[in-house]
Amino acid sequence: MPSRVPAEPRDSQEVLALFERFASEGRMPRRLSAWLNDRTIQEIAPYKVFDDVWFVGVRWVSAWVLKTSEGAVLIDTLHEPFVGRLVENLGRAGVAPGDVRWVLMTHGHFDHVGGCWALRKRLPNARFAMSRRGWDEAKADALRTGRFRMPPEEKVLKDGDVVRLGGLEVKVLETPGHTLGTCSFVYDVRAAGEVHRAVTVGGQGLNGMRSARQLNAYVRSMRRLLDPALGIDVDLTAHPFATGLTEQIPAVKAWRPGAPHPLVGRAEYAARLERLIAEAERFRRVRFGA
């Protein structure tokens, strides 16, 4: 007899709680794996969030496309079986495969780089970029899990690098922690011409924590991302459930110039990072007693 399929998580908060349980117990809750493996749940319509920025990911993991007059920058590659869907989503955002000039990857876990191999063939003009350690950890993760393959390394990103395309500047911050090769990306976005400073924080879960040292690096990276000098007021998350993004889709679609944009908010961003720091410190005490 087939076993009963567990009910779908109610909302982002419950997904987040299930991931936290996964991190602390080391075993994935059934309710979470059922949700992750359900394609009808995962495949959502792409949507525009700012003037030239679209969400092209799936329900549990983000891919962002930044459009410019010279082509597009894609952040993260999703993973199979969603790569075909990602290319379709790009098309619906008005981005042809040949328009993608850069693929910036946050870190070497399969959900962010698992699509790299297939996209390499489907995006003929793109350069694939990740940190030195990111490439290494992606190759290692591919070998270890057997879940995906990695193409040869193309471009190595370093802290402080700026990726430029058609007036867009994406600043690269190496933010080790979630993995030691994690990068975050900072860039301007526009809402009806009004400029905001967005970040895609690469890696924010505690699931890969191996040592107190790694946790310390994570906390340092999160503090760095809080630096007011970076001017960040938009949090374009690498995982929608981390910010409740999916619940905000109706408000994002309904937004009109003149109204406050639902994804602009320094206070919410700062509070989320503070929460991540507090959780990491608690985790360090419980797991490593330090």
Using CB under 5 A, list all residues that contact Zn ion.
109, 203
3-state secondary structure the chain: CCCCCCCCCCCHHHHHHHHHHHHHHCCCCHHHHHHHCCHHHHCCCCEEEECCEEECCCCCCCCEEEEECCEEEEECCCCCCCHHHHHHHHHHCCCCHHHEEEEECCCCCHHHHCCHHHHHHHCCCCEEEEEHHHHHHHHHHHHHHCCCCCCCCCEEECCCCEEEECCEEEEEEECCCCCCCCEEEEEEEEECCEEEEEEECCCCCCCCCCCHHHHHHHHHHHHHHHCHHHCCCEECCCCHHHHCHHHHHHHHHHCCCCCCCCCECHHHHHHHHHHHHHHHHHHHHHHHCC
Residue nearest to Zn ion according to CB distances in the complex: 109
CB atoms within 10 A of CB 99: 20
For the bound state, the minimum distance from the C-beta of residue 246 to Zn ion, rounded and expressed in Å, comes to 19
For the bound state, the minimum distance from the C-beta of residue 243 to Zn ion, rounded and expressed in Å, comes to 16
For the bound state, the minimum distance from the C-beta of residue 203 to Zn ion, rounded and expressed in Å, comes to 5
Decide whether 54 or 110 has the Cβ nearer to Zn ion.
Answer: 110
Decide whether 53 or 209 has the Cβ nearer to Zn ion.
Answer: 209
Closest CA to 267 of 275, 257, 255: 275
Q: Which residue has the tokens 């419980």?
A: 286
For the bound state, the minimum distance from the C-beta of residue 274 to Zn ion, rounded and expressed in Å, comes to 21
Decide whether 165 or 219 has the Cβ nearer to Zn ion.
Answer: 219
Decide whether 86 or 238 has the Cβ nearer to Zn ion.
Answer: 238
Decide whether 203 or 240 has the Cβ nearer to Zn ion.
Answer: 203
One-letter identity of residue 83: V
For the bound state, the minimum distance from the C-beta of residue 178 to Zn ion, rounded and expressed in Å, comes to 6
Decide whether 101 or 109 has the Cβ nearer to Zn ion.
Answer: 109
Decide whether 52 or 77 has the Cβ nearer to Zn ion.
Answer: 77
For the bound state, the minimum distance from the C-beta of residue 242 to Zn ion, rounded and expressed in Å, comes to 11
For the bound state, the minimum distance from the C-beta of residue 266 to Zn ion, rounded and expressed in Å, comes to 25
